[in-house]
Amino acid sequence: MIERELAKVMLNSEQKVIIIKDFNAHHSWWNAKISNFIRTKALIKWVNLHKCNLINTSDINTYHSYLNQSSLILDLAFASKNMRNHIKNWHIDENANTEFDHEVILFTIVTKKWSWLKIHWTRHTICKKSIEKTLISICKRRKTKW
């Protein structure tokens, strides 16, 4: 599954891209407790090929199963090399009350050229399906046009 999705995303060295997804992958890069890597071979290969950096703060859980009382790091964010210095303050929103098992992830994009609220996301190379609903919700709350 990951292999097919990542095969669709080919980056050139000039692109500024952020990829955010519930990868459901387990690796010691983002979770020091992991020794048995699961669903990471294609992901790590792709990340290295495109020289992307992990945005997540390591060892911060992004998923909490209320059914079996477990916490995991499943939701990952990666930035292309031209974006990595623009990403600041990655964190979990501790105050967000959602009905989902996944935490709300927040970070700041620092740039003088554009504001994330003004970007027409459908024209950019980003895994927009994973975050589109959240962005629409934020825009509605802030009364900003999508």
Q: pLDDT-derived band of residue 127, with 50, 70 and 90 as boundaries? A: very low
pLDDT in tens, 60-105: 999 888 887 888 999 999 999 989 888 999 999 988 877 788 889 9
Residue type, 87: I
**CATH number of the domain located at residue range(s) 2-141 in this protein:** 3.60.10.10
Average pLDDT score over the chain = 80
Residue type, 21: K
Q: pLDDT-derived band of residue 47, with 50, 70 and 90 as boundaries? A: very high
- 76 alpha-carbon distance from chain centroid: 4
Determine the Cα–Cα distance for residues 90 and 117; give it in Å rounded to an integer: 18
